[in-house]
A and B are shown apart, each in its own frame.
Chain A
Amino acid sequence: MSELTASEIAAVSPRSAVLRLPSVRPALLLLQTLAVPLAILLIWELSGRLGWIARGILPSPSAVAQGWWQWAFGHDAMGLNAYSGTWLANVAFSTKRVSQGYGLAILVGVPLGVLIGWSPVVARLVDPTVQALRPVPITAWLPFSIAIFGISAFGAIFLIALGAFYPIVVNSAHGARDVNRNLVRAASMMGASPIQMLLRVVLPSALPSICTGLRIGLGIAWTAVIVAEMIAVKSGLGYVLWDAYYIGRMDVVIADMVSIGLVGFLSDQLILLLAARLLRWKQQR
């Protein structure tokens, strides 16, 4: 027992050595993080004010902020500004479509992927079709989608679901295929039924891989919603993006781009949070 304690002490000491590294002041860390973005904003603002770039092509950050404010909180200016006060509604439209399409992709992609990875029969039945369709980019599906669904939200939801489906199904299949053989044997000697094996062994072992697929899928879902709304729907961030460009409102275009980045980032954080909860057992040690 005394040796165990000695080895514990030995295991702890290198860690305390790391702690004794010279500490970097938090202010300096913050400065290092923000230096480049701030510099870009500053140069951008200056080049606008000094007239290096025509304002109609690239409005300065302050003009974008103003336009954004109007877009977000402005009152209906008697039809003079079509976007006034519509930001939240458009964010909501796009987010709703992403949720619906992405949810559909998960609902179909995860179970199908796990089955493809687990059952050679399902793999032979379905995998060739999935693999054959996968190289067709979702943008190439646009005319098809409009022909089937017309100019409607369904077209967008279809494209989002399709785009997110591939990484989800492929990663789920990969995770299910890689399940440790001894874990399967352990469950089978306990008398696990095929359903129990799938739900209590294969699915949890595939979870890390499934989460990877969910994350990639979400990124594609946001790409898909913007593309779809630019062409096949008449609302949402993608629609405003293209429409604002047409009427020369570059401030709204840029504010829209930043908005897409922002909601994309937030939804990605949400998935990361979910994954961290689901994969708690992996972060230990």
Chain B
Amino acid sequence: MSAIALRQVDKIYEGGGRLVTALDHIDLDVAQGTFAAILGPSGCGKSTLLNLVAGFEAPSAGAVTVFGQTVRKPGPQRAVVFQEAALFPWLSVWDNLVFPATIAGTPKAEYEDLARELIITVGLAGFEKHWPDQLSGGMRQRVGLARALLMRPQVLLMDEPFGALDAQTRLQMQELLLSVWERYRKTIVFITHDIDEAVLLADTVHVMSARPGRMQARIDIDLPRPRSIDLLMQDRFNALRREIFSLIRGAH
């Protein structure tokens, strides 16, 4: 059984009196414990797809299931890492991190150790008392990632989480995410429009085309794990990114 399955999913928006088909007959399967990247140009419906899996929006047609359950509303089994981190600005780093546990009413003893471990994992030890406004974009995103992991979700949904970061910080975050995946082995759906990022991180890359948003191709990334950003220099990596690049160009 797939961890995440979309069957013939349509999403049609009504905006300004006309209909916009954001997603058109989307089929998608993500196996448990694998890392899936959704790659596509701006406006092809990547965020829409993620929002359907998260339960923020409902499909116009078709079915979205996570571990066999139809998605009806957002829930803590499906943690989301937002592009702008979406931290609560009135809470400290620590309070942001443990916010989901306090919402769930989890006793402190049950989440405190994991929270401490996560703070160290994402490299934010010593910043627990800072306000989000005092952090850099990369650091905010580290909190967002740690917060999502604290929820011990079945799946992790990430919408261009590193899209707003500078190239160097982005590399650091990609390396962090690789090590986090090694450690926690979550099922991840990762949205990006960056071919390198998709190839570096994912087990499978799902390429989308725009207007209307369709699934165009699925490429298995057979690069060995554990991976590091040294892969960016290797021939096999370059062959894969060339393959995807020509696929995308062929679509236009």
User: Which residues of the other chain, A, contact B86 by a CB distance below 8 angstroms?
Assistant: 180, 182-183, 185-186
CB-based contact B100/A190 at 8 Å: yes
CB-based contact A281/B74 at 8 Å: no
Mostly, the A contact residues are helix
What's the least CB distance linking A234 to chain B, in Å?
46
Does A285 reach chain B (CB closer than 8 Å)?
yes
CB-based contact A185/B131 at 8 Å: no
What's the least CB distance linking B167 to chain A, in Å?
13
What's the least CB distance linking A155 to chain B, in Å?
39
Contact pattern, A 180-201, Cβ under 8 Å of B = 1, otherwise 0: 1011011111111000100011
Does B239 reach chain A (CB closer than 8 Å)?
no
Interface residues of B in 61-114 (CB under 8 A from A): 73-76, 78-80, 82, 84, 86, 88-91, 99-100, 103-104
Does A129 reach chain B (CB closer than 8 Å)?
no
CB-based contact A189/B80 at 8 Å: yes
User: Which residues of the other chain, B, contact A281 by a CB distance below 8 angstroms?
Assistant: 89-91, 131-133
Contact of A191 among B56, B82, B90, B104 (CB under 8 A): B104
User: Which residues of the other chain, B, contact A61 by a CB distance below 8 angstroms?
Assistant: none
User: Which residues of the other chain, B, contact A200 by a CB distance below 8 angstroms?
Assistant: 103
If A182-B82, A189-B79, A190-B151 touch, whether A201 touches B88 (CB-CB below 8 Å) is yes
Contact pattern, A 250-285, Cβ under 8 Å of B = 1, otherwise 0: 000000000000000000000000000000011011
User: Which residues of the other chain, A, contact B131 by a CB distance below 8 angstroms?
Assistant: 281, 284
| Candidate in B76, B78, B86 with the most chain A CB atoms within 10 angstroms | B86
Interface residues on A, range: 20 to 34
CB-based contact A190/B103 at 8 Å: yes
| Candidate in A180, A182, A282 with the most chain B CB atoms within 10 angstroms | A182
CB-based contact A196/B82 at 8 Å: no
Does B54 reach chain A (CB closer than 8 Å)?
yes
User: How many angstroms between the C-alpha atoms of A282 and B131 in the bound complex?
Assistant: 9
Contact pattern, A 118-147, Cβ under 8 Å of B = 1, otherwise 0: 000000000000000000000000000000
Interface residues of A in 161-213 (CB under 8 A from B): 180, 182-183, 185-192, 196, 200-201, 204-205, 207
User: Which residues of the other chain, A, contact B99 by a CB distance below 8 angstroms?
Assistant: 187, 190
CB-based contact B88/A183 at 8 Å: yes
User: How many angstroms between the C-alpha atoms of A196 and B86 in the bound complex?
Assistant: 17
What's the least CB distance linking A278 to chain B, in Å?
9
Query: Which residue of B has the minimal Cβ distance to A197?
Result: B103
If A182-B82, A207-B90 touch, whether A189 touches B134 (CB-CB below 8 Å) is no
Query: Which residue of B has the minimal Cβ distance to A180?
Result: B86
User: Which residues of the other chain, B, contact A204 by a CB distance below 8 angstroms?
Assistant: 88, 90
User: How many angstroms between the C-alpha atoms of A113 and B55 in the bound complex?
Assistant: 29
User: Which residues of the other chain, B, contact A188 by a CB distance below 8 angstroms?
Assistant: 56, 73-74
CB-based contact A189/B90 at 8 Å: no
User: Which residues of the other chain, B, contact A282 by a CB distance below 8 angstroms?
Assistant: 89, 133
CB-based contact B84/A189 at 8 Å: no
Query: Which residue of B has the minimal Cβ distance to A185?
Result: B56
CB-based contact A186/B103 at 8 Å: no
What's the least CB distance linking B215 to chain A, in Å?
24
If A190-B151, A196-B103 touch, whether A182 touches B90 (CB-CB below 8 Å) is no
What's the least CB distance linking B220 to chain A, in Å?
29
CB-based contact B133/A189 at 8 Å: no
CB-based contact B82/A186 at 8 Å: yes
User: Which residues of the other chain, A, contact B73 by a CB distance below 8 angstroms?
Assistant: 188
| Candidate in A187, A190, A196 with the most chain B CB atoms within 10 angstroms | A190
- Please give the residue numbers on chain A whose beta carbons come within 8 Å of chain B beta carbons, in ascending order: 180, 182-183, 185-192, 196, 200-201, 204-205, 207, 281-282, 284-285
A-B contact pairs, 18 of them (CB 8 A): A185-B54, A185-B80, A189-B54, A189-B75, A189-B78, A189-B80, A190-B76, A190-B103, A191-B100, A196-B103, A200-B103, A281-B89, A281-B90, A281-B131, A281-B132, A281-B133, A282-B133, A285-B133
List 4 additional contacts besides A185-B80, A187-B103, A188-B73; criterion CB under 8 Å.
A180-B86, A185-B54, A185-B74, A185-B82
